[in-house]
């Protein structure tokens, strides 16, 4: 059997069991890996554990899938809804979507960034009358540094070397 035939069998098997085919060998953030990011839970929140993974490198004008997983649902009627910042369009229904009691619910949400920059997909889980909010960063292009680049050393009139830094 040739290499192409083996690849075809692997792809068919992966599709049959619902395994995502997109993978990333370099492990850079924002690319698909099997690892999900767990969101820290607040003691006074909904009690729903949220994990997510951005399944592609976000690009302006291109849909970016975000895989979300919800666990810890103990109340029938628990829900999740989504909202996107300005500059980030949500494809499909913002919800609310029902979360299954005692099961892990997995949803894929697609967002389309308008331009380079940082946008957020906001995830709101509600259960037992409490709502928790999670914001997922969608970064297109390089993130801007909070500080300007170092301008190097400057010399005072007395000959001392100093580095100029901004004060907030």
Tens of pLDDT, residues 62-89: 999 999 999 999 999 999 999 999 889 9
Res 142: pLDDT: 81
CA angle 129, 73, 133 (to 5 degrees): 55
> What is the Cα–Cα distance from 45 to 3, expressed in whole angstroms?
51
Per-residue tokens: 64: 């970016």
* DSSP type of residue 31: S
The CATH homologous superfamily of the domain defined by 28-144:
Immunoglobulins (2.60.40.10)
Which range among 4-8, 19-23, 114-118 shows the weakest confidence by mean pLDDT?
A: 19-23
**For the whole model, what pTM was predicted?**
0.65
Q: pLDDT tens digits, residue range 98-110?
A: 999 999 999 999 9
């Amino acid at each position: 059997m040739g290499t192409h035939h083996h690849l075809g069998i692997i792809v068919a098997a992966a599709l049959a069991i619902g395994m995502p085919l997109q993978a990333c060998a370099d492990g850079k953030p924002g690319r698909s890996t099997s690892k999900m990011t767990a969101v820290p839970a607040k003691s006074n929140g909904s009690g729903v554990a949220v994990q997510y993974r951005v399944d592609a490198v976000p690009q302006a004008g291109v849909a970016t899938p975000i895989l979300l997983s919800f666990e810890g649902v103990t109340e029938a009627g628990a829900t999740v809804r989504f909202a996107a910042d300005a500059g980030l369009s949500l494809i499909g229904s913002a919800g609310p979507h029902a979360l299954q009691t005692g099961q892990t619910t997995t949803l894929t949400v697609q967002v389309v960034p308008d331009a380079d920059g940082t946008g957020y997909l906001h995830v709101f889980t509600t259960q037992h009358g409490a709502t928790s909010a999670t914001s997922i960063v969608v970064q297109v292009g390089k993130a801007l540094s909070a500080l300007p680049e170092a301008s190097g050393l400057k010399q005072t009139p007395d000959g001392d070397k100093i580095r100029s830094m901004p004060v907030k």
